């Protein structure tokens, strides 16, 4: 017998009354009646379900519970991939990075490299840093779809305290845990010795021009709290300096004929 309409002879996912409901109402009904979100049955928990996956995104839950907005590619994935593909022999793109202090489980502060992403709705931390900090992890079930529709799931999250090395800014945030956030940023070293103005400002990441691993990603909600009003141009075909509570960040593109010859000679 169908749990919604009371009629016999059909499963929940064949019920026309159920399919006529908006997706949010279907999900609400399934939750209220303790149904498995993957097969809509009431005999087992979600994690024990051996049924197939959603026909639209190849993830769980059931196709009838698919919400389009939940499966859009996160903005920070687009940003990282655009950075990697845009770099060429004569042009480099600098994404906003900063060295911050993060607190471990014993109250000690440790340095970590953060990517500031104004397009991400979620903060992320690598599994290696989370383990090193001894953070308490909680179980989550978050869908994540990347470039070319490649799908994965976030299974763990942790609470993290982030502190500036250049101001009294300090904030706690929830971070989803990933094995890897991005490729090393930038993709190659850039000579900035002759860039005027850099030495006069306290940089958030003094190694911004040298490829390095990203330990965590700071989402939009914290990003805009970090921004200050001051901004400085480093010159034509060079990135800008943006003042933040973490220090001055370098962001934007850099074009150089000299960089082209250096790249070919290495």
Which sign, positive or negative, has the C-alpha torsion 167, 172, 174, 180? positive
Structure confidence at residue 217 (pLDDT)? 95
Verify that 161 and 62 share a domain, yes or no: no
Average pLDDT value for residue range 94-122: 93
Lowest mean pLDDT among 29-33, 103-107, 110-114: 29-33
- H or E element that contains 8: none
Verify that 191 and 87 share a domain, yes or no: yes
Is the pLDDT confidence value at 237 over 90?
no
Structure confidence at residue 132 (pLDDT)? 96
Is the pLDDT confidence value at 54 over 50?
yes
Instruction: Give the distance between the most distant pair of CA atoms in the chain.
Output: 78
Count of domains forming the chain: 2
Which letter does DSSP use for residue 113 in this model? E
Question: Is 1 among the domain residues?
Answer: no
Question: Is 80 among the domain residues?
Answer: yes
DSSP structure string for 23-44: HHHHHHHHHHTT--TTT--SSS
Q: What is the pLDDT of residues 195-211, one digit of tens each?
A: 888 888 999 999 999 99
Verify that 16 and 118 share a domain, yes or no: no
- From the list 136, 111, 123, 140, the residue with the least C-alpha distance to 217 is 123
- State which residues form the domain around 24: 12-67
Is the pLDDT confidence value at 221 over 90?
no
Is the pLDDT confidence value at 16 over 80?
no
Verify that 86 and 54 share a domain, yes or no: no
Structure confidence at residue 30 (pLDDT)? 75
Structure confidence at residue 59 (pLDDT)? 56
Question: Is 193 among the domain residues?
Answer: yes
Which letter does DSSP use for residue 200 in this model? G
Verify that 93 and 212 share a domain, yes or no: yes
Percentage of the chain beyond pLDDT 90 is 38
pTM for the structure as a whole: 0.63
Cα-only R_g, the chain: 23
Q: What is the pLDDT of residues 162-190, one digit of tens each?
A: 999 999 999 999 999 999 998 888 888 88
Question: Is 3 among the domain residues?
Answer: no
Mean pLDDT, the chain, rounded, equals 78
pLDDT band at 260 (very low <50, low <70, confident <90, very high): very low
Verify that 180 and 58 share a domain, yes or no: no
Q: What is the pLDDT of residues 71-87, one digit of tens each?
A: 333 444 333 433 333 44
Which letter does DSSP use for residue 10 in this model? S
Structure confidence at residue 154 (pLDDT)? 86
């Amino acid at each position: 017998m169908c749990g919604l309409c009371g009629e016999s002879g059909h499963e929940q996912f064949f019920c026309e009354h159920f399919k006529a409901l908006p997706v949010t109402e279907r999900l609400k009904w399934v939750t209220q009646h303790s149904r498995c979100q993957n097969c809509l049955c009431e005999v087992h928990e979600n994690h024990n379900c051996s049924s197939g996956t959603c026909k639209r995104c190849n993830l769980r839950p059931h196709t009838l519970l698919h919400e389009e907005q939940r499966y859009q590619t996160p903005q920070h994935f687009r940003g990282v991939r655009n950075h990697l593909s845009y770099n060429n022999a004569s042009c480099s793109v600098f994404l906003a990075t900063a060295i911050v202090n993060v607190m471990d489980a014993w109250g000690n502060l440790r340095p970590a490299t953060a990517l500031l992403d104004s397009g991400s709705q979620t903060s992320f931390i690598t599994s290696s840093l989370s383990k090193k900090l001894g953070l308490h992890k909680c179980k989550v079930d978050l869908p994540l779809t990347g470039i070319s529709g490649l799908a994965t799931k976030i299974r763990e999250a942790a609470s993290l305290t982030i502190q500036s090395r250049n101001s009294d800014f300090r904030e706690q945030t929830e971070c989803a845990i990933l094995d890897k956030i991005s490729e090393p940023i930038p993709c190659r070293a850039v000579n900035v010795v002759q860039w005027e103005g850099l030495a006069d400002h306290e940089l958030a990441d003094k190694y911004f021009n040298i490829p390095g691993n990203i330990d965590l990603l700071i989402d939009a909600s914290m990003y805009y709290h970090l921004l200050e009003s001051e901004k400085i141009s480093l010159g034509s075909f060079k990135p800008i300096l943006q003042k933040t509570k973490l220090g001055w960040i370098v962001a934007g593109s850099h074009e150089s004929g000299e960089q082209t010859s250096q790249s070919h000679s290495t």
